[in-house]
Amino acid sequence: MDLNKGAAAPPIDPADAEQNKVMAILAYIIFFIPLLAAKESRFAMYHANQGTILFLAGIGLSIVCGLLTIITLGILFFLPMLASLVWLVFAVLGIINAVNGEAKPLPLIGGFQLFQIP
């Protein structure tokens, strides 16, 4: 696991992006499908990396927000909903990038790299 903060987006072949758009979109919905089905695609693997990071960040954010809600005896009841909304916005941004054939990092979390991109 390589947590390279600030990792630049790899150069993407337009033909690869066009062929693997569906896999890149799926990376933000079910992140592991491109990891299994499109290992050779730089475009799909880039978005699979972004989707995996988004998934892990969402889990962490949900746990923290849930704990803060419990600790404050429900005063911050809106935090888990806000965390879900932020996750949804980031997922939509990633899907838009995938549909447009772009390899742009997601805001705040997109600079991390969890696995090797071919």
3-state secondary structure the chain: CCCCCCCCCCCCCHHHHHHCHHHHHHCCCCCHHHHHHCCCCHHHHHHHHHHHHHHHHHHHHHHHHHHHHHHCCCCCCCHHHHHHHHHHHHHHHHHHHHHCCCCCCCCCCCCCCCCCCC
What pTM, to 2 d.p., does this model score? 0.85
User: According to the model, what pLDDT value does residue 7 have?
Assistant: 53
pLDDT at 6 over 50: no
Mean predicted lDDT score pLDDT of the chain: 88
pLDDT at 22 over 90: yes
